Amino acid sequence: MKETTDFYASSSEGVAEGAVYTAMGGGDWADIAAEQAERGDETLVINMGPQHPSTHGVLRLMVEVDGETVTSIRPGIGFLHTGIEKNMEYRSWTQGTTFVTRMDYVAPLFNEAAYCLAVERLLDIEDKIPQRASDIRVLMMELCRIASHLVAIGTGGMEIGALTVMTIGFREREMILDFFEAVTGLRMNHAYIRPGGVANDLPETGIAQLRDLINWLEKHLPEYAAFCNENPIFKGRMCGIGYQDLSACFALGVTGPILRSTGYGWDLRKQQPYCGYETYDFNVITWDTSDAYGRFRVRLDEMWESLKIVKQCADRLEASTGEPVMIDDPKIAWPAQLAVGPDGQGNSHEHIKHIMGESMEALIHHFKLVTEGFRVPAGQAYVPIESPKGELACHVVSDGGTHPFRVHMRDPGFNHLQSVPIQCEGGMLADIVVAIGSLDPVMGGVDR
């Protein structure tokens, strides 16, 4: 415990020793400061975070600056390590969805999709997922992509002072979250995509609400371009900042908008399609400047491409109304059908009538699936998907039981933060914030 003097503490009665104990005890701060003192140069060592308004969550940055120039920067992570992967080893396969969705909490449906696709590969049911379920998955994922890019652009803009970009970004996001709430019941952390399909179908007013949402987005997405694209302050802050070229991206495991801002059009939805993405018509957006401004433009245009896909989904879902959204296998399909009743959300009346009155097998399956869960054959699988941040993948190992043996999520933010030194060293202190904003890490996914 290191004693420091708090200058704001009252020196009169009431305070025992006139000092404030800091629980941190300096951590490794004493070592860092000592190391710098040894060198005896004019370098200043600054600690940014983990509590900081602009580090996109609990990220610690140990920065050495010479004047305004960053000479060395080291990210420190782990402040949000939740033990999600180990926790999943004690829960059933379906419950894994609820854990994994809280990793990258800005785009939760992608975590669920990666995990469920990996489990479905182990179950060998990849081609038995109903088409409507895949279409709903694509719809929800693309809407989630728009929502995530809005947060990225909004918070990135806020961090450089463009506060309006944040307020309008969250306004659009609210409309998307309204739709999510109508379909899944929750605004965030939905646990909607389950192994075998999705938890429940769209509500009756779903397509109508979706069309309204599409109209709203079409009307309001041009505002971002109008605000930012040619804004001299925006360009001044972002052009040339956080430069990372193609070979650096490959060496450091960087994918997503950052890779595409170098000009290389690598998008897993096109290269290694899943959930039927090969049947949708959309473009891969690239830019050629490899800097923060390029990444912003890539994200902006990707929102438009996602909207294109959403429109195609709306047409398909309207045509396939009434089809099942869960696999036809009673040993795997999640049995519960949820509805909002007088006391909140719970099993629908029809479902309870069916399992209690009509079918003993349905009751048994419901009971066994909800308590024990299904068994997944032994083996391992690795399924990557294109999340808004980059390649999000799930490496899942099963030993034949009802619980995962090992789940490892490959989160894009974890890899992208390794690029912070290459992007920031040599630049200015103020550019760190811009560079990290353009990397768009989500600390829940980084630390898991």
Partner 1 sequence: MSDNDALIPEAGTGPAAQPAPVRQGMWGKGSGDTSGYNGLRRSVEWPAAAVAPYGSWFDDALGRLSQLVADPFSTVVVDHGELTVYVARERIVEVMQALRDDAYLRFEFCASVSGVHYPDEIGSELHVVYHLQSMTHNRRIRIETSCPDADPHVPSIIATYPTVDWHERETWDMFGIIFDGHPHLTRILMPDDWVGHPQRKDYPLGGIPIEFKGTVVPPVDSRRSY
Partner 2 sequence: MGIEDKVPQGVVLTTLEGLFGWMRQASFWPATFGLACCAIEMMTYGAPRFDAGRWGQEVFRASPRQADLMIISGRVSQKMAPVLRQVYDQMPNPKWVMAMGVCASSGGMFNNYAIVQGGDHLVPVDIYVPGCPPRPDMLIDAMWKLKKGIVAKRPIGQNEIDFQDAAEAAALVAPATHEMKGLLR
Distance CA 256, CA 389 (A): 6
- Angle among Cα 259, 263, 264 to the nearest 5 degrees reads 60
Residue 376 parent element (H or E): none
**In sequence order, which residues have a C-beta less than 8 Å from that of residue 224 and are 6 or more positions away?**
153, 165, 168, 169, 300
- Partner from partner 1, partner 2, none contacting 400, C-beta within 5 to 8 A by type: partner 1
Nearer to partner 1, 37 or 378 (CB): 378
The distance between the two most distant Cα atoms of the chain, rounded to a whole number of Å, is 82
Task: Answer yes or no: are the C-beta atoms of 401 and 375 closer than 8 Å.
Answer: yes
User: What one-letter code names the amino acid at 170?
Assistant: F
| Residue appearing with tokens 């990793």 | 103
**Interacting residue with partner 2 among 3, 18, 19, 24 (CB under 8 A):** 24
Residue 420 parent element (H or E): helix 420-424
Residue 84 parent element (H or E): helix 84-88
Binding mask 190-219 for partner 2 (x = CB under 8 A): ------------------------------
**Interacting residue with partner 1 among 405, 425, 428, 429 (CB under 8 A):** 405
Q: Which listed range, 16-24, 207-215, 227-235, 344-352, lies at the site for partner 2 (CB under 8 A)?
A: 16-24
**In sequence order, which residues have a C-beta less than 8 Å from that of residue 32 and are 6 or more positions away?**
45, 62
Q: Which listed range, 50-58, 127-135, 319-327, 415-423, lies at the site for partner 2 (CB under 8 A)?
A: 50-58
433 binds partner 1 (CB under 8 A): no
Q: Residue 346: what are its φ and ψ, rounded to 5°?
A: -165, -170
Distance CA 7, CA 5 (A): 6
Binding mask 233-272 for partner 1 (x = CB under 8 A): -----------------xxxx------------x----xx
- SS3 string of 142-179? HHHHHHHHHHHHHHHHHHCCCHHHHHHHHHHHHHHHHH
Distance CA 318, CA 253 (A): 39
**Interacting residue with partner 1 among 99, 299, 410, 445 (CB under 8 A):** 410
Task: Answer yes or no: are the C-beta atoms of 395 and 382 closer than 8 Å.
Answer: yes
The secondary structure of residue 355, as a DSSP letter, is I
Q: How many residues bind partner 2 (CB under 8 A)?
A: 48
Nearest to 309 by CA among 129, 109, 141: 141
The secondary structure of residue 291, as a DSSP letter, is S
| Residue appearing with tokens 């902006």 | 300
Q: Which listed range, 6-14, 160-168, 195-203, 370-378, lies at the site for partner 1 (CB under 8 A)?
A: 370-378
Q: Which listed range, 194-202, 331-339, 353-361, 377-385, lies at the site for partner 1 (CB under 8 A)?
A: 377-385
The crossing angle, in degrees rounded to 10, of helices 131-159 and 108-123 is 150
- Partner from partner 1, partner 2, none contacting 131, C-beta within 5 to 8 A by type: none
User: What one-letter code names the amino acid at 213?
Assistant: L
Q: How far is the CB of 34 from partner 2 (least distance, A)?
A: 20
Nearer to partner 1, 411 or 431 (CB): 411
| Residue appearing with tokens 């600690």 | 47
106 binds partner 1 (CB under 8 A): no
Task: Answer yes or no: are the C-beta atoms of 382 and 374 closer than 8 Å.
Answer: no
Instruction: Please list the residues that pair with 65 across neighbouring strands.
Output: 44, 70
Nearest to 153 by CA among 61, 257, 243: 257
Binding mask 106-135 for partner 2 (x = CB under 8 A): x-----------------------------
- Partner from partner 2, partner 1, none contacting 331, C-beta within 5 to 8 A by type: none
56 binds partner 1 (CB under 8 A): no
Looking only at residues 59 through 78 of this chain, which bind partner 2 when binding is defined by CB under 8 A? Answer: 78
Binding mask 378-417 for partner 2 (x = CB under 8 A): ----------------------------------------
- Partner from partner 1, partner 2, none contacting 379, C-beta within 5 to 8 A by type: partner 1
Q: How far is the CB of 110 from partner 1 (least distance, A)?
A: 16
Q: How far is the CB of 51 from partner 2 (least distance, A)?
A: 5
- Partner from partner 1, partner 2, none contacting 399, C-beta within 5 to 8 A by type: partner 1
167, HSE (Cβ side, Cα atoms, 13 Å) = 5
Q: How far is the CB of 262 from partner 2 (least distance, A)?
A: 29
86 binds partner 1 (CB under 8 A): yes
Binding mask 158-187 for partner 2 (x = CB under 8 A): --------xxx-xx-xx--x---------x
406 binds partner 1 (CB under 8 A): yes
Residues that bind partner 2 (CB under 8 A): 6, 8, 10, 12, 14, 20-25, 27, 50-53, 57-58, 78-84, 86-87, 98-99, 102, 105-106, 151, 155, 166-168, 170-171, 173-174, 177, 187-189, 443-444, 447
